[in-house]
Amino acid sequence: MAAKLMRAVQYDRYGGGGAALKLVEVSIPSPKKGQLLLKVEATSLNPADWKIQKGMLRPFLPPKFPFTPGTCVAGEVVEVGQGVTAFKAGDKVITLLHFTVAGGLAEYAAAEEKLTVHRPAGISAAEGSGIPIAGLTALHSLRSLGINLDGVDKPINVLVTAASGGIGHYAVQLLKLAGDVHVTATCGERNLELVKNLGADEVLDYKSPGGAALESPTGRKYDAVVNCVAGIPWSTLKANLAAGGKVADVAATAGDMLRAALQKVCFCNKRRFPLISTPDGPGLEFLVGQMMEGKLRTVVDSKFPLKRAAEGFDKSIEGHATGKIVVEIF
């Protein structure tokens, strides 16, 4: 019997950006033990998708060609594999697919039960698909900085760079859960009001002299920084840190990683460390809960149908998206 087919977007070589993505027909996957088969409704794009395509993680990723990118998925369960007990056909869900297998830019995808959570009726597929990588990276950044979202022990000042981007816009919102936190944020001029409405106490245009220098308008030094911008010199960050201040860097370069290792060995008072988020089912559940309580929302920059996924890919490569870029499948 011929395998049932679905539409998927794939690339078969390194590089090429959106132009290298092809809409093809492939076999619908079958869920293995501990997996769910999802009818994909929406998949959000992340910089890691095009960085892997560019070859920045070769020879580890992608594991083979052709490859279907897309890891942050919202959809509906159509079939469950052996041993799955928490979900059934018809359930609306949000899931994080492993980069080693991916598959989000397709009509159907196989997801791990342990990295899947229920999606309440109040959360759209587009909104839900934005959460997994960007939301978890923001959450893990704050936890790595020692910021307790249940309430900080004393007032703290925190800087979030690129605060209108995928990770940054979640970080600003999550910081307000911690209570007495003063949030300074940087973003482009067109997004100043948006970031203010997300909860930032003061917002800087990153192109202004003060924004480029990361200087708080009220002269505050930062106890912690969530840095989402590659290439900011350590000297600029260090000058704005309070004693004992730390930088969680989600955009660290190889040079930044080397410097971070040296700072750790030297027990430096001020430190910058790379943040690499890991799959986290309970963390995803927490974020969805905050969204349902109205404490967290996804800002959607733009939406593209599957046949125009290449346009979304190129838009992500260009940078400066406000919030998340989403590909809608069904």
Alpha helices by DSSP H, listed for 153-232, are 166-175, 192-198, 209-213
Q: What does the pLDDT average to over 109-113?
A: 98
Beta carbons of 312 and 45 less than 8 angstroms apart: yes
Q: Which pLDDT score is estimated for 269?
A: 85
Query: What element of type H or E holds 296?
Result: none
With a cut of 90, say whether residue 254 has pLDDT above it. no
Residue 320: other Cβ atoms inside 10 A = 14
Give helix 309-318 / helix 47-54 axis angle, nearest 10°.
90
Which residues are CB-contacts of 71 (< 8 A; sequence separation ≥ 6)?
Answer: 43, 46, 48, 49, 96, 97, 98, 99, 102, 104, 132, 133
Q: Which pLDDT score is estimated for 265?
A: 58
Q: Calculate Rg over the CA atoms of the chain.
A: 20
Measured between alpha carbons, how far is 260 from 265 in angstroms, rounded to an integer? 9
Which residues are CB-contacts of 258 (< 8 A; sequence separation ≥ 6)?
Answer: none
Q: Which pLDDT score is estimated for 156?
A: 97
Q: Which pLDDT score is estimated for 256?
A: 62
How much of the chain exceeds pLDDT 90, in percent?
89
Query: What element of type H or E holds 25?
Result: strand 22-27
Q: What does the pLDDT average to over 57-75?
A: 95
With a cut of 60, say whether residue 4 has pLDDT above it. yes
Q: What does the pLDDT average to over 116-136?
A: 98
With a cut of 50, say whether residue 1 has pLDDT above it. no
Global confidence as pTM = 0.95
With a cut of 90, say whether residue 94 has pLDDT above it. yes
Q: What's the pLDDT band for 266 if we cut at 50, 70, 90?
A: low
pLDDT in tens, 173-213: 999 999 999 999 999 999 999 999 999 999 999 999 999 99
Beta carbons of 69 and 47 less than 8 angstroms apart: no
With a cut of 80, say whether residue 252 has pLDDT above it. no
Q: What does the pLDDT average to over 9-29?
A: 98
Q: How far apart are the first and last CA of the chain?
A: 26
Nearest to 307 by CA among 94, 139, 105, 79: 105
Domains of the chain: 5-130+299-328 (3.90.180.10), 135-274 (3.40.50.720)
Handedness of CA 139, 145, 147, 148 (dihedral sign): positive
Ranking 45-49, 196-200, 263-267, 320-324 by mean pLDDT, the lowest is: 263-267
With a cut of 80, say whether residue 245 has pLDDT above it. yes
Beta carbons of 99 and 30 less than 8 angstroms apart: no
Measured between alpha carbons, how far is 150 from 148 in angstroms, rounded to an integer? 5
Alpha carbon 33 to its chain's center: 27
